[in-house]
Amino acid sequence: MFAPRAILAAALACLLVPHHGAADTPDRVVFAAWNVRNYMLRPILNKEGRTTTPAKSPESIAAVVETLRQIRPDVIGLNEMGTRKDLADLQRRLRKAGLILPHTTWVDGPDGERHIALLSRFPLEVQHDTQTAFQLEGISQRVRRGILDVTVQVRADFPLRILGVHLKSSRVVPQYDQAAFRRAESLILRDRVEKILESSPEKPLLVFGDFNDTKNSPVVKGVAGRAGTRRSLTILPLADRTGDQWTYHWDESDEYSRIDYVMVNQPLRRLLLRGGTGLRREKNWFVASDHRPMIVTMRLPKPTAP
């Protein structure tokens, strides 16, 4: 479906996607995934009372809301969300902007500052993983932001399973090997994917997140699995209207890279719409975040008879 030469054509129409019809029988679903860069209404302070992470500015918050208002997603997967109150704040602002997403979930992982969250137009069944441990240099560790795991009940006959992650940063820290930590987290995610695909191979599965690694890395390739097999995931080649596929800009080194991904299993891949799948490209995109939102639109199969 997504051959390389079709990437640009697929991205040209991804900015605005027509909304579906009746609320109880949607014929398509728009999913957006975005690292919104520290959506926190209050700054993070260290033990000495000094600010380590500033509160998100009003201008940045407004830019996040406006971007999502234009995308009009039915489900939003979020990285770098702050507290539950911060998530409620975004939900309220979106409602005021005309985007009503009444169902929410927030992953309370070991990282007490940055969280994975999800907003949805449809009801959710939640089964997050924040407890699975692994050994690293003889010390028991857990996935720092946990693994978001929800089933979105789009329709009675269409449950959409979504996993979301924010894997360990690639920036050097003295405590442990970041790459080894990230790889260990990815193995736990892959194990969860394997179990889902084994038990429910025909049900749609979507994995999103900030993987903090490149497409050809063991981390990303490992989560996707061996291509061509029933248990593999397709890494969507998302692009903006010019064909660019970068999702993140590191200001310190003026480096543009692709570290955010959406992966889908084969049953879901068959439902994707090219015209509503891609990356946002806006003139002032950096005001909202140092990442760009990813957009996936799926056309739902005809409802099955009761």
Average pLDDT, the chain: 91
- The CATH number assigned to the domain with range 28-299 reads 3.60.10.10
Chain-centre distance of CA 252, in angstroms? 24
Confidence of residue 22 (pLDDT cuts 50, 70, 90): very low
| Cα 292 to Cα 283: distance, rounded to the nearest angstrom | 12
| Cα 197 to Cα 128: distance, rounded to the nearest angstrom | 17
Give the residue with greater pLDDT, 172 vs 87: 87
pTM: 0.92
Pairing status of strand 115-120 against strand 75-81: antiparallel
20 has pLDDT over 80: no
| pLDDT tens digits along 235-254 | 999 999 999 999 999 988 99
| Cα 30 to Cα 76: distance, rounded to the nearest angstrom | 9
Most confident of 15-24, 65-74, 162-171: 65-74
Of all residues in the chain, the percent with pLDDT exceeding 70 is: 90
Span 141-147, average pLDDT: 97
Region of poorest pLDDT, from 206-210, 227-231, 255-259: 227-231
Q: Which of 276, 288, 206 is nearest to 241 (CA)?
A: 276
| pLDDT tens digits along 79-132 | 999 999 999 999 999 999 999 999 999 999 999 999 999 999 999 999 999 999
List the chain domain ranges.
28-299
